Structure 1
């Protein structure tokens, strides 16, 4: 049996096992209710994980009734005890989080893999603190400062699942290109966020893909953002999670849902990797075929950079401007056509270029031949 620290997932596993064992024993819920001297509803609650199983019911009635070998009893009893514990997210301080979201966090923290599609925002498991802060403060409801901090802390703590000492969470995220294009917080915040996403893809269990605008229609346009959570046991079908303004929908993940996610990962999706630079660079205003964190990071810096136009610029297209960037590079472009392309220099490269120009080393490049 696989370890998990989530009471929610232990309850789910035990519910699935009790359902399987009852069916294999050829019993109906009413037969079990008679043995437990309870209502059929209580048996249903046990088998749907709506309520944790009472340990006494388990080892005195259910396991003997289902003819489970006694050497396997400790695993079931342990699961029943762990399922009755409180998860860390239920004791994080302040008012309790909504029950519908507490259920999701419990499933997330015990999942073995999550496949997610996001159309508007970076997935919570990959967000930086500054990005999370900007998202939280721009929500639809007004929140006190201490509540904002609690929500930020909760989201960042959830990310520990990616670095579990035993069996870290496997994350596969597919993003609409708009997620990388939208500047959340500020250009600097967005730059750090995108660089963080690129860095996280070096983790062997984290994959991020982008559906470029040029790909056109795709399954995510009809489905909207969703997640499919998988669990360590082969008999568990997984859960499809769809959040909405008033709560969330939880559905057992049938094969068609998993197939829909496979459609999102079609060849039109491009995988993000650390150090990868897009073919189109930072041509944000003209649109790109593929966007990576590096290209959007460049664009975010260009939009906030203190551009300085050369006093030798004229009206015949010779309009040159330059600006220092946050990462220490220097950008040079045509101020009349800023979207046409930008050249990036390190400080050392720029110094060498200026010295060469002053020495006349490039005077013949503009001569007519």
Structure 2
């Protein structure tokens, strides 16, 4: 599969186009399901990009929607074939958050709030390894190594000179103090964080204890935007057993507003770098003790 093809994104785009065609034909998803003798949930899954769709399904839907343009049909069927292929991350075996990885790969910008640890895209190899080691239940060393390789490869997005990811990060202060691995690993990680935060396409802000109670008390979340539909967006909530993906405009707007409030309460990017430098010194002091 060509390197620039992202099956997750192909499914999402194909589903959105099929939804548009269905609405243009003035049909409900229940009516489509009844005419094609399939379940209504199947139609919803296809339109939301949560299920791969076969070229045959595309052909049947196009016929039902009255699509006669051969170029349009061929384009949709090509997307269907590509959406059934695997992303690069699938070659590493059973990797969690695979749906999110596909979306992250295609995102033009991500606003993320993290209260507990440094976000995946900004982690050093040693820090990432220490985080993965805490997986419950424990996983075999070979599987842990695969997850580490996937995490480090995901970071290519923020180093891509042709299409760098625009990344905003709000970190709650505990993430800086929590010793992941060892104090020397934390020192290296915080120095790495400060170096990355100086990049023009990466913004990092710390939410200090002095900010008091704030809207992020419910936990981690990320707001993703895409170049092909910047007005839409998606909210990602990472959970222990089942991640959540919110697409309703009202939900995306609510989380975007929450993020704006968190940024307003956080330290400035410049103030954050000074703050991180001071915390780094405390880890150096601990690491140097006999």
Give the alignment's TM-score, normalised by structure 1.
0.69
Residue in structure 1 matching 2:238, options 233, 238, 243: 243
Matched, 1:233 2:206: no
Matches within 5 A, 1:83-232: 83-93=83-93, 96-98=94-96, 101-164=97-160, 166-221=162-217, 223-232=218-227
Flag the 1:236–1:58 CA change in 2: closer, same or farther, 3 A. farther
Task: Answer whether contact 1:219 1:260 (CA < 8 A) is retained.
Answer: yes
> Which has the greater radius of gyration?
1
Q: CA RMSD in A?
A: 2.7
Matched, 1:44 2:44: yes
Tell me the number of residue pairs that the alignment of Structure 1 and Structure 2 aligns: 285
Task: Answer whether contact 2:7 2:85 (CA < 8 A) is retained.
Answer: yes
How much has 1:175 moved relative to structure 2? 0.3
Task: Answer whether contact 2:205 2:272 (CA < 8 A) is retained.
Answer: no
Ranked by relative contact order (alpha carbons within 8 Å, sequence separation 6 or more), the top structure is: 2
Task: Answer whether contact 2:114 2:220 (CA < 8 A) is retained.
Answer: yes
Q: Where does the alignment leave 5 or more consecutive residues of structure 2 unmatched?
A: none
Flag the 1:159–1:277 CA change in 2: closer, same or farther, 3 A. closer
**Deviations, residues 311-336 of structure 1 (Å, cap 9, x unaligned):** xxxxxxxxxxxxxxxxxxxxxxxxxx
How much has 1:30 moved relative to structure 2? 4.6
Task: Answer whether contact 1:5 1:109 (CA < 8 A) is retained.
Answer: no
Give the alignment's TM-score, normalised by structure 2.
0.86
Could you say which residue in structure 2 is the equivalent of 1:27?
27
Larger proportion of helix: 2
**Deviations, residues 267-325 of structure 1 (Å, cap 9, x unaligned):** x312335x9863xxxxxxxxxxxx22x21222211223259xxxxxxxxxxxxxxxxxx
Flag the 1:277–1:91 CA change in 2: closer, same or farther, 3 A. closer
Could you say which residue in structure 2 is the equivalent of 1:270?
267
Task: Answer whether contact 1:35 1:61 (CA < 8 A) is retained.
Answer: no
Query: How far apart in 2 are the matches of 1:105 and 1:81?
Result: 20
Matched, 1:16 2:16: yes
Query: How far apart in 2 are the matches of 1:246 and 1:226?
Result: 15
Flag the 1:62–1:142 CA change in 2: closer, same or farther, 3 A. same
Task: Answer whether contact 2:109 2:166 (CA < 8 A) is retained.
Answer: yes
